[in-house]
Structure 1
Amino acid sequence: MKTDVIVLGAGVVGISTAIHLARRGKQVVLIDRRGAAEETSYGNAGLIQREGVYPYGFPHDFGALFRYALNNTIDAHYHPSAIPGIIPFLARYWWHSGFRQHQSIAHLYAPLIEHSISEHADLIAASGAEDLIRKDGWMKVFRTEKARDAAYAEAEKLSANFGVNHQKLTPAELAAAEPDIRAELTGGLRWTDPWSILDPQSLLKRYLAYFQSLGGELKSGDAATIEHVLEGEGWRIATPEGPLEAKDVVVALGPWADTVTRKLGYHFPLAVKRGYHMHYGAEEGAKLNNWVLDAERGYFLAPMLRGIRLTTGAEFARRDTRKTPVQLRRAEKVAREFFPLAERRDEEPWMGARPCTPDMMPIIGKAPRHAGLWFAFGHAHHGMTLGPITGRVLAEKMLGERTAINIGPYRPERFIA
């Protein structure tokens, strides 16, 4: 079997890339060991974060570092056994998170974020998925004046420097927007530009159906079987129907990218932040109207189709070790005091892994040492946000077109000696 392009990974980045290649007349086969959006793209807060110009950095203030070191918070948790193996990554992550470095990274990262809404809007319209989208932003809420005022100051800077919009909310305005929240709050901040998704997996299944309407295919396969066909200047992968060959292959495997890259001699400093979610009902008569971050406790509540989704912060652990949803248990206890959550609706907590680079920017572009090999992974917390723009610029690069933005800052070579 032959095709023009094999895309490895049917998450948001892989599906978006496949769509943009198919739109340009390429015959594309999307390969995944499971189905569409069954891994990292399945579990997230369901936000297209137009305001997310600053990628999530490593804290530098002593108070936060001490709090995380105690390993008893909701927003961060770690496996002690995993730390020795990721110390080199954490050291580089900490350095890149310094004030000057983080400021510089934000300006390099901003062009991707600036196209997040418009590129999703394109695919939403093409796939008929408007019913899965809300366009009224999301809210941070604050328990103390100190946290509120610091967030307001940061929001003003972000708005001035990057053109994102926000509203400051008084306690009375918060109470009107969310009458069933029980906590004593000093105020809130609504980011008005972002869009929210009522069910991320359903959205990506619509995107997949659109891809298939363009002639694309989704097949089962194991990315680890990919091999370079030297005589044909192409690539071959095993599928249940037999070997599949293509001139080009795109690695969009998120936290599993190393199953291909290491085999081919590329050793990227890719780590994972694991995260958990659970869906809940609401007590009779109660309703959550907005996507809400309890900023000082470090968990998120999102009113989705499957129920109110509670998401946790980052867990530093080995990618494939067993679930340890201690953050979810901590968050649930606090969240039940914050809002009248009812029964759990999932049999067990969901866990996913976010693929992270130490400079907090994705890896997008051509592999330096192989013809026809392309990379699109490492989006950390913003995979859902950045999938469509990543797919567009990579497809443009592959076909020799002028890219919508300069993708030089995300080139793979920055991590290759």
Structure 2
Amino acid sequence: MTQQTVVLGAGMVGVSIAWHLQKRGHQVTLVDRRQPGRETSFGNAGIIQREAVRPYAFPRDMKTILSVLPNRRVDIRYRVTGMMNAASPLLSYWHNSSSRLYQKIIPEWASLIQLCLKTHEPMIKAAGVEHLVRKEGWLEVYRTQARLDKRIKEAEEARELYGVQFAVLDRAGVKDKEPDLSQDIIGAIHWLDPWTVADPGALVEAYADAFTQDDGNLLQAVIQKIEQVGKRWRVVTETETLEADEVVVALGPWSGDWMKGLGYHFPTFVKRGYHMHYASQAPAKLHYWLMDAEVGYLLAPMNAGVRLTTGAELNRLESPADEQQLEAAEKVARQLFPLGDRCNAAAWKGARPCLPDMKPVIGAAPRHPGLWLAFGHGHQGFTLGPATGQLLADMMEGKPTEIDMAPFRADRF
């Protein structure tokens, strides 16, 4: 019999799960309060990051921690109330970033990242959006040789262990690819594997369109209640009530709060981020996605303009926007590349859904048959959505998975 499944959350992760299940003959309804790809998946840097085999660790050295305390860095900002609200998971995050634990986490995390390109590819083809995707990699630029040399060593290790491909550029090599950059840049790593996307929100929307064209059902409505009724599930929304055999929670940064209503207490927290689009000062042109690695922001030549994305802001999910981090990044970015006027009236704000061991939850809920979970992808939900969709669909059908899913079990917390 056809399984009736409700997927909650229409970001990259939820859309990808719905797409995979629908392709396998499930009867799927995808639910979100907004159109697909309009929340966290809308505002990212638009890179499918095959090179990102190391998750973002919490700083452990005292020099870095002390440099964060004045709260003026571009790559990391915090609000005291946000830190207090997430004190317990942040302490666990710091603990898991110790060398011993982090070295165990890396290969588990990398096993997911290694699936990203080959799982995006069939979805890109099905959606007919090859025009949004470039397969030319991106640049990580440096001002000091010592920092570049350190990063080259990490890249060499990633190549040896996980097949990551890259090229090292000197000043002349950077100028050849990006002639309008500041002369302060002395070199770069050109990550060759990743794909870049000129409109991340449009890619998610196109994946959702492919899902609906394959007879998937999309419901835009506010979710009010999730409950188990006998052996089935009921999802109550503001417009209608859905009955299903299975429910998937893929609600990104809101997942933790929804799971509390079902008796689960995951140590979720968020890293918020901002973006703004800019014109370029003619005749300057940005050709590649570009990270200013020693400062901590990224510039991307997207359809809407040059997108500047900030680093992380540790704050409560729904706290009002604070554009000071964006303004600090913009000030430095204007010295790196001749940005023109802002294209947006206000900055976009979003939140990356995080867990303290830097790995998502992907799999069955421990105490509720028919309840499946997929959240906590941190900075890489856009990269890992299709891989998560394939793996979770296999698990839901009782099939072997391409990688070991034990590190991503929900009951590890």
TM range (shorter): over 0.9
The question of 1:332 aligning with 2:313 is answered no
1:98-123 superposed Cα distances (whole Å, 9 cap, x missing partner): 11211110111111111001000111
Partner of 1:401: 399
Partner of 2:46: 46
What are structure 1's unaligned runs of at least 5 residues? none
1:73 & 1:168 partners in 2: Cα distance?
A: 27
> How many residue pairs align between the two structures?
412
Partner of 2:383: 385
Paired amino acid for 1:381:
H
Indicate the SS of the match to 2:394: helix
Aligned-pair CA distance for 1:226:
1.4
Q: Any conservation in 1 of the 2:222–2:238 contact (CA below 8 Å)?
A: no
What are the equivalent positions in structure 2 for 1:189-268 lying under 5 Å apart? Answer: 189-230=189-230, 233-268=231-266
2:140 & 2:99 partners in 1: Cα distance?
A: 23
Partner of 1:137: 137
Aligned-pair CA distance for 1:89:
1.2
Q: Any conservation in 1 of the 2:362–2:408 contact (CA below 8 Å)?
A: yes
Partner of 1:163: 163
- Taking structure 1 as reference, are residues 249 and 406 closer, same or farther at Cα in structure 2, changes over 3 Å only? same
Aligned with residue 362 of structure 1, among 350, 360, 363: 360
Indicate the SS of the match to 2:86: helix
Aligned-pair CA distance for 1:240:
4.5
2:215 & 2:359 partners in 1: Cα distance?
A: 32
1:153-178 superposed Cα distances (whole Å, 9 cap, x missing partner): 11111111211011000100101110
Aligned-pair CA distance for 1:220:
2.1
Percent sequence identity is 47
Aligned-pair CA distance for 1:85:
2.2
Paired amino acid for 2:136:
D
Q: Any conservation in 2 of the 1:82–1:316 contact (CA below 8 Å)?
A: yes
Q: Which runs of 4+ in 1 moved over 3 A?
A: none
Partner of 1:121: 121
Q: Any conservation in 2 of the 1:224–1:259 contact (CA below 8 Å)?
A: no
1:199 & 1:261 partners in 2: Cα distance?
A: 31
The question of 1:148 aligning with 2:148 is answered yes
Q: Any conservation in 2 of the 1:3–1:29 contact (CA below 8 Å)?
A: no
1:10-64 superposed Cα distances (whole Å, 9 cap, x missing partner): 0000000001100110110000011111110001010011011110010112211
Please, what TM-score do these two structures have when normalized by structure 1? 0.97
Aligned-pair CA distance for 1:224:
3.9
Partner of 1:186: 186
Please, what TM-score do these two structures have when normalized by structure 2? 0.98
What are structure 2's unaligned runs of at least 5 residues? none
1:113-147 superposed Cα distances (whole Å, 9 cap, x missing partner): 11001000111011111000000111111111111
Aligned with residue 276 of structure 2, among 278, 296, 304: 278
1:183 & 1:13 partners in 2: Cα distance?
A: 40
2:239 & 2:351 partners in 1: Cα distance?
A: 30
Paired amino acid for 2:349:
M
Paired amino acid for 2:77:
H
1:82 & 1:12 partners in 2: Cα distance?
A: 26
Paired amino acid for 2:213:
S
Indicate the SS of the match to 2:26: coil
Aligned-pair CA distance for 1:242:
2.2
- Taking structure 1 as reference, are residues 346 and 25 closer, same or farther at Cα in structure 2, changes over 3 Å only? same
Aligned with residue 375 of structure 1, among 364, 373, 398: 373
2:356 & 2:257 partners in 1: Cα distance?
A: 19
Q: Any conservation in 2 of the 1:3–1:245 contact (CA below 8 Å)?
A: no
Q: Any conservation in 2 of the 1:396–1:402 contact (CA below 8 Å)?
A: yes
Indicate the SS of the match to 1:57: coil
Partner of 2:296: 298
1:183 & 1:315 partners in 2: Cα distance?
A: 29
Indicate the SS of the match to 1:181: coil
2:318 & 2:118 partners in 1: Cα distance?
A: 35
2:253 & 2:224 partners in 1: Cα distance?
A: 13
